């Protein structure tokens, strides 16, 4: 084989690698994500969204009630304090609000 043919073969091989490698990596990622899919979590999220769509009341309240409806928690836990600035409920022992970062005076 002449030097020109070897160089051409190497360039063609490099070009094929550049074209094929990302596709193979993407397909591997896709199959990996499909294998890690949690169908139970998807079903729970879908049921929660359908419940919020049919009920509608969860979207009419403040941000704390929306968060509580999304997480399935109680709307206002007993150990919370409301922020004076934005009204967001925070844990008693925090110094700053989790939404607006203002100082919470206990």
Query: For residue 88, what pLDDT band results from cuts at 50, 70 and 90?
Result: confident
- Render pLDDT for 17-73 as a digit per residue (tens, 0 to 9): 999 999 999 999 998 888 777 777 778 888 888 887 776 544 444 555 555 555 655
Q: With 60 as the cut, is the pLDDT of residue 90 above it?
A: yes
54 and 46 Cβ atoms separated by less than 8 Å: no
3-state secondary structure of 86: coil
79 and 92 Cβ atoms separated by less than 8 Å: yes
102 and 96 Cβ atoms separated by less than 8 Å: yes
pLDDT value at residue 29: 93
What are the residue boundaries of the structural domains of the chain, listed by start? Answer: 76-106
* DSSP per residue, 43-67: HHHHHHHHHHHHH-GGGSS-HHHHH
Q: With 70 as the cut, is the pLDDT of residue 15 above it?
A: yes
Encoded tokens for 58: 């969860």
């Amino acid at each position: 084989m002449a030097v020109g043919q070897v160089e051409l073969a190497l360039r063609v091989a490099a070009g094929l690698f550049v074209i094929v490698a990302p596709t193979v990596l993407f397909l591997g990622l896709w199959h990996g994500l499909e294998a890690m899919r949690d169908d139970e979590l998807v079903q729970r999220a879908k049921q929660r969204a359908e419940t919020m769509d049919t009920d509608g009341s969860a979207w009419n309240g403040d941000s704390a009630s929306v968060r509580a409806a999304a997480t399935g928690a109680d709307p206002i836990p007993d150990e919370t304090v409301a922020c004076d600035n934005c009204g967001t409920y925070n844990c008693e022992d925090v110094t700053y609000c989790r939404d607006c970062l203002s100082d919470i005076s206990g």
